[in-house]
Amino acid sequence: MRHVTTRVVGLTAVAALVALAFGVATASALPEFGQCVVQPKHEGRYTNNVCTAKAKKVSEKFTGEFEWRKATEIEAAKRTFAGTGGEAHFYGQYRACEPGFNVRAQKCHEGETEGVIPFGVHCASEENSGTITGKNLVGSVSVTFKGCKEDASGSSCQSGATEEEIKFSTLKGKIGFINKKVTPREVGLLLEPTSKKTRVTTYHCDGPELSFVIGMGNEVEGCVYPLKLCGGNGVISAITPVNTATTTFTQVFTASEETAENVPSKFEGTQPLKVLESYLFRPESPVTSMWSKIGESLTNSDKTPEAIEIKAN
């Protein structure tokens, strides 16, 4: 199997928004998604129009002009989002055993040598949509990449009947803090399959003809291909702005070409993710790689019908 230069397909996507938190945000609370609304009777919990400055209590009543409306209290039609992204890349480094690339486990057999097969795909654009399903959650996230080609040969890559189009399975997500020590605090959105046994996508590239499965593997756990699927793969993007009422949010997925891994790989104060992984194979043959890391690079913009805020104070 030939080596290919590394550039990558735009993987995920994104649909984005969302928030994590329980009740009114405090110094130790998680980010929360909602709206800051005027309180006509001046009995709100906040004194500013982004609901970050707390009001005083007088006779057991708050005296602020604003109150926080949780995501679950917002009309369902106003909790939807849709967006587009520019060029996207996947950075994949597939581990395989030589000679033969006939892998049946996450380690090579006696007499075989492990090698790395870099492989890159890029897509010209991305489209996504979804719904905010809770104060810290998004769901029904649909992601489609268009104009997808393998970097080295320029051959078409696609997941279905539409040429140069890669579509993901339905995703879900939640947000958390990436860094609470900066101002404003940095918030990220984690996207992952709806269940641990669900693939993100399966696509193929002409050229040499290669097929790819993304999601469900886990290099650390030593999953066996193709009999065991470990699941739990995910990817985090930074999402902005925070503490601002807006109809437009920006997501940035950042991947390292050297390690084929997205940065960051965890929320602050939590364990590292089972990072996104993939394996490649040749249809109608025993040739396959091990489960291997894959990174995604993409910037996209998501819009909501009405101004929404990610409160992160």
Residue 57 pLDDT: 92
Q: Is cis: bond before 305, omega within 30 of 0? A: no
Any bridge partners for residue 38, and if so which? 66
Domain coordinates of the chain in residue numbers? 34-72, 79-311
Give the span between the Cα atoms of 156 and 209, in whole angstroms: 10
Evaluate whether 123 touches 148 at the Cβ level (below 8 Å).
yes
Tokens 């995604």 correspond to 296
State phi, psi for 76 to the nearest 5 degrees.
-55, -40
The per-type count for the chain, helices as H runs and strands as E runs, is 0, 22
pLDDT in tens, the chain (313 residues): 333 333 333 333 333 333 323 233 334 488 999 999 999 999 999 999 999 999 999 998 999 999 999 999 999 999 999 999 999 999 998 888 887 666 656 678 788 888 888 889 999 999 999 999 999 999 999 999 999 999 988 999 999 999 999 999 999 999 999 999 999 999 999 999 888 778 889 999 987 678 888 876 555 444 544 435 555 678 999 999 999 999 999 999 999 888 888 898 889 887 666 678 888 888 777 677 888 888 999 999 999 999 999 999 8
Give me the DSSP letters along 77-134.
GGGEEEEEE--EEEEEEEEEEETT-B-SSSSPPTT-EEEEEEEEEEESEEEEEEEEEE
Give the span between the Cα atoms of 215 and 231, in whole angstroms: 7
Which amino acid would we find at residue 184?
P
DSSP state of 299: E
Give me the DSSP letters along 232-298.
-EEEEEEEE--SS-EEEEEEEEEEETTTTEEE--S-TTSPPPEE-EEEEE-TTSS-B---EEEEEEE
Give the span between the Cα atoms of 31 and 242, in whole angstroms: 9
Residue 246 pLDDT: 97
Q: What is the pTM of this model?
A: 0.83
Cα–Cα nearest to 209, from 248, 137, 156: 156
> Residue 265: CB partners within 8 Å, gap ≥ 6?
236, 272, 273, 275
